[in-house]
Structure 1
Amino acid sequence: MADANNNQGTPINVAHSSIYATHPATFMQFPPYDPQAEGTEVVITGIPFDLACTGRSGTRMGPKSIRLASANLIWEGIRWPWEFALDDHLRVADAGDLHFSYGEPQTLVDNLEAHADRVLEAGRQMLSFGGDHFISLPLLRAHARRHGPLALIHFDAHTDTYSGGTQYDHGTIFHHAVQEGLVDTEHSIQIGIRTTYDRRNHPFEVLDAAWVNDQGPAAVLERIRQRVGSRKAYLSFDIDGLDPTHAPGTGTPVSGGLSIDCALKVVRGMTGLELVGMDLVEVNPAYDHAEITSLAAATLALEFLYVLAANKS
């Protein structure tokens, strides 16, 4: 990705002058994933699934749009405000998009759980691009099999803990995750919520969007650290956690959300937490403008990778 050995000034991507012409179909020009190759630490997977959405469909195109938007980030050898090149500390590969029989959601569940099991059993971590938020449920199942019940750090406009809905529904995933014992509710937290939920019986701590916007990233990080502690944590970021002015390209936009600056500062500040995986979901490029949403998603994903790299050192 970067020529980090360039000591004649700020390191930049050696192909920065033609990034759009030469950009391959992988995130950040990371190499394609070879399960047999040694050294890979993080595996990116696209999950082009949107049969569980209740709003506007189209998130099946999310993985492709996030990868394409990453062309805007490739040229910077050392991502601001970090002080090291990611490639020097973390080996990342892109597995492409998951295969399943479109129109048969159970094949998505089966194939995604099997793929995640293989990646995690190999000692690698996952960064997954949706697709709608339903993909978090099979991913959590695989991660819980590997790590036990997880602390969930969840950014969203909605709690996604609704008990109604069909078997495949992006609004019920964390209800099922709790019922299946995949997450440790005492150490989990939801951030950016601004739609109705049962506050008296809700299983998670909630930092609603109004509180976040009033208190700022530092206060959010303090609450996250208090809540998660030393538990292994899984990060799920629904792009509609951002305000529609920062992320118009999503299926169920809700006004009054987080700014991308706030979200980046919170994700960037998660160094030291034991993060075991992340999914980034609900990017719907059909409703995007000038790649605003896709770029926000790509940047959040890159920040997560830098946090993993910083945690190693």
Structure 2
Amino acid sequence: MTGTPTFAIAGGFLGVTRRDPDAAAVIAGVPFDIATTNRPGARFGPEAIRRASRMLVDGDHPTQRRDLTGKLADIGDFEIALGDVAASLELIERQAAPIRHLVTLGGDHAIALPLLRARARRHGPVGVVHFDAHVDTWPDSFGQPYGHGSVFYHAIREGLVDPRRMIQVGIRSPVQKEVLDWTLQQGVSIVSAQEVHEQGVARIVERIRAVLGSEKTGGAAYLSFDIDALDPAFAPGTGTPEIGGLATWQAQALLRGLGGLNFVGMDMVEVAPVYDHAEITALAAATLVYEYLALALPA
């Protein structure tokens, strides 16, 4: 083993120092957490995920057998409007719009709305694979219309996503009947964490692929991954943890089963390192982003 020790690698994701916004995939952080409804702290998520990603640079991806960093850039963090949700979402959309393939490190889940607005400009309504403990289709979040629990309510109503090509995986939190009914009526498919445990990874991969369609027939797809999809035993560093969630190996295996889908972007959200222990949440998030890059970037 030669070169720089992992603990001394540069601060970009996977140690990347390239800042070209026209790279095949572009990493950007969004240090925004004022739309969260429980514990804040996800504003420090981008920094923590980048730091943990240094563990992943000692060779090629284990299944793809290739170096991902050559096609990757890290352009740093987006600007936000401190204390202003609506203005921050506008800024995020404006900065995301010019980037062809954006991988975003959050930040709370509210940032997914402007990211989807930017993707829809390029691709029209996208299919979505949404990993989460929560459906995030509430009309508002305790009176805040653009809180982190309302992102997909707005995304569906604004026509940013095709709800018939949207599947939520890992859901297990309490939800009002009218919210759940509305979500299902739009055509969204929901897979609970319990179903993942009972049916197994291979069956859930089949269900996801059936909803999204193939690269040729399904159109553009977007991955939104709230780290609280994982059980708090594997991801304690998050604002709204729910027991009974996915194990890291399940999430990793599910992503590895999605090769060939036409992914056009991703967000990894709700990592709040102040509640983490030994960086296990940040490392899980960084590794899952690494998995996404392996399946989304051309060989």
Q: Secondary structure at the match of 2:116?
A: helix
Residue 240 of structure 1, CA deviation: 0.1
Q: Which residue of 2 aligns with 1:164?
A: 140
**Residues paired across the two proteins, number:** 287
Q: Trace 1:1-313 onto structure 2 (pairs within 5 A).
A: 14-16=2-4, 18-21=5-8, 23-35=9-21, 40-75=23-58, 77-87=59-69, 91-119=71-99, 124-165=100-141, 166-197=144-175, 198=177, 199-202=180-183, 203=186, 204-229=188-213, 230-309=218-297, 312-313=298-299
Residue 216 of structure 1, CA deviation: 1.5
Aligned partners of 1:56 and 1:200: how far apart in 2? 27
Aligned partners of 1:84 and 1:129: how far apart in 2? 23
Aligned partners of 1:157 and 1:135: how far apart in 2? 17
Q: Secondary structure at the match of 2:80?
A: coil
Unaligned runs of 5+ in 1: 1-11
Percent of residue pairs identical: 46
Structure 1 length-normalised TM: 0.88
Residue 168 of structure 1, CA deviation: 2.9
Structure 2 length-normalised TM: 0.92
The amino acid of 1:108's aligned partner reads S
Q: Is the Cα contact below 8 Å between 1:187 and 1:231 reproduced in 2?
A: no
Q: Is the Cα contact below 8 Å between 2:133 and 2:170 reproduced in 1?
A: yes
Q: Which residue of 2 aligns with 1:5?
A: none
Report the CA distance shift for 1:102/1:200 in structure 2 as closer, same or farther (over 3 A): closer
Q: Which has the larger radius of gyration?
A: 1
Unaligned runs of 5+ in 2: none
Q: Secondary structure at the match of 1:100?
A: coil
The amino acid of 1:113's aligned partner reads E
The amino acid of 2:86's aligned partner reads Q
CA RMSD of aligned residues (A): 1.4
User: Which runs of 4 or more aligned residues in structure 1 lie more than 6 Å from their structure 2 counterparts after TM superposition?
Assistant: none
